[in-house]
Structure 1
C-alpha cells in the first residue's frame, strides 16, 4: 500500500491536469486509518470537492475512502440561518409543493409546512433539514429520484453549505441509472435561471456526465458544470461547453 503522501501527490497532480480550478491556499490532507483512506481539507467549491473525491477513489487502491472535504463558505452562514434558507427554498420549489418540509432544531423536529399525517396518507413525501457546522443533512422520504437529486441541488444553490449529506429514502424504490441521471440533469438546468438549458446538450455514460453546446459567458459555462457536480453519486463531469460572445 502506498503511503498517503504518495496518494495525495498523485491525486493533486491529476487534479491540476484535469481541472481549470486551482487549490492554492486550500491545503488537502490524506491519512490511512483502519484500512480506509481519509481525505480532509477545504475546497473553494462543490466541483473541486467532488472532483478531488473522485480522483482519491481512483488512486486509493480499492480501499474505502472517508470524505471529510468541506467547501469554504464565503461569507460564512450561521447554521440556523442556513437551515431556514434551505427550508424556504424547498417550500417555494414547484417540485416540492406537495412535500412536508421539516427542520431539526436542537434535536427537536419542527414541521414548517404540512403535517406528518399528510405525508403518510397521500404519499407526498417529507424532507427534514438538519444543519451542523455548515454540513446539511437531508432525511425523510421522497417519491422519485428526481426529487432526491433536486433536494441536494437546492441545498447547494442556497449558498453557504460546506457539505450536503443526502439520506432521503426513495419510496417506492427505483434504480438510479444513466437515463435517470440524464433526466434530472435536464431538469436541473431548466430550473437554474443562470443558464440557458436549451443550448446545452447532456450525455451520461456509466454515470459520467458530459456537457456540450454553447453559452454566452464563462460564468454560465461554470454554473452548468457546478450544477452537474451537485448531483449525488455521479461518475464525474466533463465540460465541453463552448463560450461564444
Structure 2
C-alpha cells in the first residue's frame, strides 16, 4: 500500500492542567505523559473531562494553568493553528464538507495550509484514502457514504496533514454498532505503525487490547493510570473498580 512519508512521532505531556468555565472546574490538575509512538486511552464516565482535555491539548481551549509539551518543549506560546498542523484530531461528528468530493475534503487542508499543488495534493489524498480503504470513493460526495465510511474519510483528512500526534475523541460513538469494529481496527493499525495517539473512548475492549497506557478520569482529574492489564485486572481505587463493574 502506497502512503506518503509520515512525520516522526513525538512525545506529548500535559502538566498540571486546570480549566474552569465560570465557577465550574472542568479540569483539576491533570497530568498526562504519552511517550513517542505509543497509544494512551482515556476512559471515564460522561462529564469527567476527557473530551475537554483533548481540546485543551489541541489549544481549542486555553488552559487556565499548566503546560503542554511536545518532545519536552512547551507549545503554549506557539501559534495555535501551527500547533494543530502537528496534532491531528478526529471528532465524534465527521464534520465533512457536503458540497465537496471525498478527495477534496481530504486535500483541502494540505492545499490551503501547506501550499500543496493540485497534482501533489491529489496523489497525497488518494494515498491516504487507500490507507483507510476508500480510494474507490474519491470522487463521490460524503452523503453517499455510510457513517463508518465518513469517519474513515475524517481520519484520512487528519492523516493528510502528516501529524506527529493524533487525537480521537469518541470517534465511534456516533456509529451504528456494526461499524464500530472497523474504525477501532483502523485506529489500532495506526498505533502499530508508531503514531503517538490519545484516544478517548467508551470501548473497553479497545482500551484493553490496543493501549500502551490507560488513564481513568473522573470529575476533571486523573484518578488512576497505568498499563491496561494492571488497571483492568487490579484497579487500586474504589472509584475505578466501581466504574469497571458497570462497563465490563
| TM-score relative to the length of structure 1 | 0.36
Higher strand share: 1
Which structure exhibits the higher relative contact order, with contacts defined as CA atoms closer than 8 Å and separated by 6 or more residues?
Answer: 2
* Alignment TM-score, normalising by the size of structure 2: 0.35
